[in-house]
Amino acid sequence: MERRACGRIRDLHVVCSDDLIILQGRSRTYHAKQLAQEAVFDLTGGHPALANQIIVC
């Protein structure tokens, strides 16, 4: 996932439970935030419950 976002996500944490995946970290752009989210969808086969809490700053 970090490779897909080209190293643009800092302090990346992925929290997984049975029904929810939470992305946390910091990014400089909304594009990098979206790339991280798309990587999770690809890796999980489109897991429906994803909370993207990556902060753009």
**What pLDDT is recorded for position 25?**
95
* 54, 17, 1, 31: CA torsion to nearest 10: -30
User: Which pairs with CB-CB distance under 8 Å and at least 24 residues apart come from 28-33?
Assistant: 28/56, 28/57, 29/56, 30/56, 32/5, 32/6, 32/8, 33/9
CA distances to 7, 52 from 24, in Å? 14, 7
**What pLDDT is recorded for position 45?**
85
**What pLDDT is recorded for position 23?**
95
Tell me which DSSP letter residue 48 carries: S
Would you write out the chain's pLDDT as a tens digit for each of its 57 residues? 656 665 678 899 999 988 899 999 999 999 999 999 998 899 888 778 999 999 999
**What pLDDT is recorded for position 1?**
60
